[in-house]
Every structure is written in structure tokens, then in C-alpha cells.
């Protein structure tokens, strides 16, 4: 029988994974690449059936390595032409100029047709592709790479039982996660068990934040906050620096930066929100590496705990869920009690409970900054 710690480690492995680009268009690229590999050729007919949340999160965000393309059709075409499904959420990390030309030529044929899936599943993708001889149907439910069905010419190649009404049905049981358990475990867990994954979080997510501060991405929320600090308009304190750092990562990611990030609960913005403020706080306060790792452990598991009840995709802004993790972690790192950590989570969710998700795009960085400011407050 699995111990509670083994379950937690499994949850971390499931939820904290590398991805290049916003995860919803990348999920479409992944589905397209996998379906095309099974079909064996580039299709001449493509129909895709999507839940509303997928459509919302794909329509406005820039796809990495695509020369600035956005939208459902572009995400699918990138997967069909240039994708490698074995890389999962890094599916379009290696795109040649020749492939990019082919993608644009394929899109010009206007053969990809998008349909709204009528069901209640929040994360749903069904891709139907065909050539003159064969056809493939591929279905994804609940999580971005959870393929539940593959058919080729009507023959079942894969059929995975999935509870349509339970968006956590494909994941490790989350009942082990309570705020009290997370708080207590953060103090006692062997640091070597969690250090490797959180070192990757620090390395990947810091790199894209630094890129966001250097380059011109989106509306440059992170860079603007930093410039206002330098001009003396904003205070030169860790609160503003943390908001700048995390927002810069989102600026870059939502605007097509090809650097990967370590996601949390299926979202790069959530992964950056849960990590970058804690990384900046630890640096400013000269915390040890172990303190940083334990702080990241708290912020990520609280984020996962909140998202377990909200769902992968919803009308509620996921960055605010992650901001609850940040508030919990900051309280923990300040030596706060369990009751104080609970109060910090309650304050965030009460203050920003009305923030809706209106789709993944450059303005996500603004919501991230709002969440982080509230977490520090």
C-alpha cells in the first residue's frame, strides 16, 4: 500500500511538468501530432470538437515557434506538420523553417473545421482526421494529455475508462491533501525527495522570467513594474519585485516565448505564479536553498489542493488559485502557524474570488500581478 508521502510525490510528478507554450493550444498540437502519426500522412480533412474552455484559452494566445500565429487552426496545423507527440507538452519544441512554411501552406487550404462540443466536460478535445483512404479519431478528456480513445478506420486502438463527471478521475487520489497535512509535511519531509523537481522549477521558471524582463512581450507588465521601481514610483521592496518577476514570465509565455516552464495543475501561468514570487522572496531575504524548496513545496501543493476542487479549466482565474499557494507559502516562511496559513488562504480567496478567466492571453500577466500583490498583503 502506498504511503501518504509516496502519494504526494506521485501528485507532484503528475502536476509539475515541463511545457512549452500555453497548455491549451499545446494540447491541440499534441492531439494533432499523435493522430497524424497513427494516420501515417498529412490529412486532407480535419474536424475538431472542443469544450468551451479550450476554445476560450486557445483563440488569443501566441503559439511558440510559430512566427506569431494564434488560434485553434494554427495549433492543430503546427502539431500535424511539426509535432512530435512523444514529447507531450513539448510537442512543438523543434520546428524548422521548412516546416513553418508547410504549416502556413496547410492553413491556406482552410480544411480545419472547429465545432463546439455540447457536453459538460471542461477540458475536452476530439480530433477527427482523414485522407483519401484512412481516418483516425482521437479523444482527450480532463487533462491535457489524457488520451481516452483512439480509433483508426473504426477499429479501437485505445479505449480508456474515464468518469466524465469527475475531472480528477485520471489522477492520483487527492484526498490525502489537506492544508494541515501539507503544512506539517513541509516541515518534516526529506528534502532530497523533493529537491530535484523544485530545482527544475527554479531553473526553468526563473529563465523565462528573466527573458520577460529583457525582451518585449505582450504589454510588458513585469518590465513596467520594474521600471517604476527604478524610477522611484513604486517602492524598492520584495512585494513589487515579486510581482514584476512573475508577471514578466507570463508576459513572455503568453506572447510566444519558446522557453519551457514547469507547469502546475496543467497551467504554466499557475506554475509561474506559484514559484516565481517565492523564488524572488527567498533571494531578497537570503533564505537557504532548503527553505526555498520547502516554501515551493507549500505553494505548489496548496495550489494543487485548490485546483483539485476547481478543476483544470473553469470560469475562475487559475492564477488566483496559485496566489493562494503563494500567500500560504509566505506565511509558512515567516514562521506562521497552521491557523495563520489557513487565514492567508482565506484572505486571498475572499479578496479575489470574483476574478474570472476570460481566456489565455497577454493580459494574464495583469491578473498574476494582482494575485501576488494580494498574497503579500
* CA–CA gap between residue 123 and residue 33 (Å, rounded): 18
The predicted pLDDT at position 174 comes to 83
CB within 8 Å of 228: residues ≥ 6 apart = 234, 240
Among candidate residues 232, 231, 259, 227, the one with its CA nearest the CA of residue 243 = 227
Whether 163 shows a pLDDT value over 80: the answer reads no
Query: Residue 127 pairs with which residues in a beta bridge?
Result: 48, 138
The pLDDT confidence band at residue 170, using thresholds 50, 70 and 90, is low
* CA–CA gap between residue 122 and residue 51 (Å, rounded): 6
Among candidate residues 205, 193, 202, the one with its CA nearest the CA of residue 289 = 202
Whether 23 shows a pLDDT value over 70: the answer reads yes
CATH code for the structural domain at 23-159:
3.30.1330
> Which sequence spans correspond to the domains of the chain?
23-159, 179-376
Q: Phi/psi at 139 (nearest 5 deg)? A: -125, 140
Whether 186 shows a pLDDT value over 90: the answer reads yes
Longest Cα pair distance anywhere in the chain, in angstroms? 66
* CA–CA gap between residue 173 and residue 177 (Å, rounded): 9
Percent helix, strand, coil in the chain, to 5, is: 55, 10, 35
Average pLDDT over all residues of the chain: 94
The predicted pLDDT at position 169 comes to 54
- What confidence tens digit (pLDDT) does each residue in 320-358 have? 999 999 999 999 999 999 999 999 999 999 999 889 898
Residue tagged 509558512 (cell numbers): 332
Total H helices, total E strands in the chain:
14, 8
The predicted pLDDT at position 1 comes to 62
Strand residues in the chain grouped as ranges (E): 18-19, 45-50, 112-116, 124-130, 135-141, 147-152, 155-159, 261-262
* CA–CA gap between residue 298 and residue 308 (Å, rounded): 15
Mean pLDDT, residues 184-192 taken together: 98
- Length of the chain (residues): 377
Cell, residue 16:
509539475
Q: Phi/psi at 239 (nearest 5 deg)? A: -60, -50
Q: Phi/psi at 140 (nearest 5 deg)? A: -125, 135
* CA–CA gap between residue 128 and residue 48 (Å, rounded): 6
Strand residues in 81-235 grouped as ranges (E): 112-116, 124-130, 135-141, 147-152, 155-159
- What confidence tens digit (pLDDT) does each residue in 282-326 have? 999 999 999 999 999 999 999 999 998 888 788 889 899 999 999
Among candidate residues 13, 54, 260, 70, the one with its CA nearest the CA of residue 139 = 54
Task: Say if strands 18-19 and 261-262 run parallel, antiparallel, or are unpaired.
Answer: antiparallel
Whether 41 shows a pLDDT value over 90: the answer reads yes
CA distances from 305 to 102, 172, 301, 302, 353 (A): 43, 12, 6, 5, 16
Residue tagged 481516452 (cell numbers): 148
Is the pTM above the cut of 0.85? yes
Which of 137-146, 195-204, 309-318, 363-372 has the weakest average pLDDT?
A: 309-318
Amino acid at each position: 500500500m502506498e504511503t501518504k508521502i509516496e502519494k504526494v510525490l506521485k501528485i507532484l510528478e503528475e502536476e509539475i511538468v515541463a511545457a512549452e507554450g500555453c497548455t491549451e493550444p499545446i494540447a491541440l498540437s499534441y492531439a494533432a501530432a499523435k493522430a497524424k502519426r497513427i494516420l501515417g500522412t498529412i490529412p486532407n480533412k480535419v474536424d475538431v470538437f472542443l469544450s468551451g474552455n479550450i476554445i476560450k484559452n486557445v483563440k488569443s494566445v501566441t503559439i511558440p515557434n510559430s512566427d506569431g500565429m494564434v488560434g485553434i487552426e494554427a495549433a492543430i496545423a503546427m502539431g500535424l506538420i511539426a509535432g512530435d507527440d512523444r514529447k507531450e507538452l513539448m510537442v512543438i519544441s523543434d520546428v524548422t523553417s521548412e516546416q513553418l512554411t508547410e504549416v502556413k501552406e496547410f492553413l491556406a487550404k482552410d480544411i480545419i473545421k472547429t465545432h463546439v462540443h455540447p457536453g459538460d466536460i471542461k477540458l475536452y478535445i476530439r480530433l477527427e482526421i482523414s485522407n483519401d483512404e484512412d481516418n483516425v479519431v482521437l479523444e482527450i478528456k480532463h487533462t491535457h494529455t489524457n488520451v481516452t480513445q483512439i480509433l483508426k478506420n473504426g477499429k479501437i486502438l485505445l479505449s480508456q475508462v474515464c468518469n466524465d463527471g469527475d475531472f480528477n478521475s485520471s489522477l492520483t487520489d487527492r484526498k490525502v491533501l489537506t492544508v494541515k497535512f501539507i503544512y506539517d509535511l513541509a516541515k518534516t519531509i526529506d528534502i532530497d525527495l523533493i529537491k530535484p523537481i523544485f530545482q527544475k522549477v527554479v531553473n526553468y521558471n526563473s529563465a523565462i522570467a528573466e527573458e520577460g524582463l529583457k525582451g518585449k512581450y505582450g504589454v510588458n507588465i513585469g518590465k513596467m513594474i520594474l521600471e517604476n521601481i527604478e524610477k522611484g514610483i513604486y517602492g524598492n521592496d520584495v512585494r513589487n519585485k515579486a510581482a514584476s518577476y512573475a508577471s514578466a514570465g507570463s508576459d513572455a509565455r503568453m506572447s510566444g516565448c519558446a522557453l519551457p516552464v514547469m507547469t502546475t495543475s496543467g497551467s504554466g501561468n499557475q506554475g509561474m505564479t506559484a514559484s516565481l514570487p517565492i523564488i524572488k522572496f527567498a533571494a531578497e531575504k537570503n533564505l537557504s536553498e532548503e527553505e526555498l524548496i520547502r516554501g515551493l513545496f507549500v505553494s505548489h501543493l496548496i495550489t494543487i489542493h485548490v485546483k483539485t476542487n476547481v478543476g483544470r479549466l473553469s470560469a475562475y482565474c487559475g492564477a488566483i488559485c496559485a496566489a493562494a499557494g503563494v500567500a500560504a507559502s509566505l506565511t509558512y516562511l515567516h514562521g506562521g502557524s497552521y491557523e495563520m496559513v489557513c487565514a492567508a488562504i482565506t484572505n486571498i480567496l475572499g479578496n479575489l474570488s470574483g476574478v474570472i478567466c476570460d481566456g489565455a492571453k497577454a493580459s494574464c500577466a495583469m491578473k498574476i500581478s494582482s494575485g501576488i500583490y494580494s498574497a503579500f498583503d
